[in-house]
Amino acid sequence: MTKFAIQTLNAISPVGLQRLDRDVFDVGTDIRRPRAILLRSADLHSVEVPSSLYAVARAGAGTNNIPVDRLAALGVPVFNTPGANANAVKELVIAGMLLAARNLYHAADYTRDLVADKHLSGADLDKQVEAGKKQFAGFELPGKTLGVIGLGAIGVLVANAAQSLGLKVLGYDPAVTVKSAWQLSPQVEQVASVEELLSRSDMITLHVPLVEGTRGLINAQRVALMPEGSVVLNFARGGVVDEAAVLEALDSGHLHAYVNDFPSEAGAIHPKVIALPHLGASTGEAEDNCAVMAVDQLSDYLLHGN
């Protein structure tokens, strides 16, 4: 029997791959004429679609690295794994808020330099430690307001978890689903506009896909609505934030910090930017969950057409 050939374009967790019966599926990176492509963040936009292709599956939530419309026109469905990595992203957002509130990222650099300086000891070291305590004094979360833009699987988890830290939480999503509305804590106040959310939030966190309507969503006019000293967290996609506007607001002191999981060179070198290499979904658990969900959808479709 001819096996179904599945080409993997990124490392996919073996916990998912081992669900594919090797008597039925051939899986590998260098497969020709694949029936299916299984990927994580590889960019498919510039890749010619093989005529043998029946389906694409992404072990992740976003599909902006895949030409979904072009594939749909060819009758090739795209599967993704919404929710499968939501807990991992939620935990990193909470860590990002604390990093920004307590200036931990820069304080750790400062301390590393102190320790590395072999000439510093005794009273000199104590003096520098005291200076660090002043320079990196932070703020606490209870009583502050977090605005969550996008109330899908991740946004809902972040909103609910933030409440346990004493934050007042506002949520905005013009197209909130029944499932999300059901899961969202009733204490989260849903507001009618992104402008209202921005003007009332000390910190905002973005959980929207990158589509035409969300590109540059956080622009100069909107940053200006945020209170002095606020924090922007972006674990969605780089394009959702107009980075030049955010960098300008950091320079002027209007924003306290920008936590960005999609660093560009300009952002990564700015002293008030906490830049991460797209780590939101990078935990063993999330990688396993996404791989299992993607593989199961793909094999169901290839074997049973659903």
Minimum Å distance from CB 293 to ligand MLT? 11
Smallest separation, CB 61 to ligand MLT (Å): 4
DSSP letters for 61-86: S--TTS-HHHHHHTT--EE--TTTTH
| 135 or 264: CB nearest ligand MLT | 264
Tokens 């808020």, residue located: 97
Question: Any idea of the CA torsion for 106, 110, 112, 118, to the nearest 10 degrees?
Answer: 170
Between 10 and 135, name the residue whose CB sits nearer to ligand MLT: 10
Nearer to ligand MLT, 62 or 132 (CB): 62
Applying CB under 6 A, which residues contact ligand MLT?
40-41, 60-62, 85, 278, 281
In whole angstroms, what is the distance from residue 304 CA to residue 27 CA? 18
Whichever of 14 and 166 has its CB closer to ligand MLT, that residue is 14
Cβ partners under 8 Å of residue 280, min gap 6: 85, 88, 89, 92, 93, 235, 261
Orientation angle between helical segments 86-101 and 104-116, nearest 10 degrees: 70
Q: How far is the CB of 265 from ligand MLT (least distance, A)?
A: 20
58 counts as catalytic: no
Of these residues, 32, 45, 212, 265, which one is catalytic?
Answer: 265
CB of 81 to ligand MLT, least distance (A): 7
Residue 145 bridge partners (DSSP): 168
- Active-site entry in 58, 207, 237, 256: 237
Q: In the annotation, is 270 catalytic? A: no
Closest-CB residue for ligand MLT? 60
Q: Establish whether 278 is a catalytic residue.
A: yes
Q: Which residues pair with 241 in a beta bridge?
A: 218
The residues annotated as belonging to the active site are 237, 265, 278
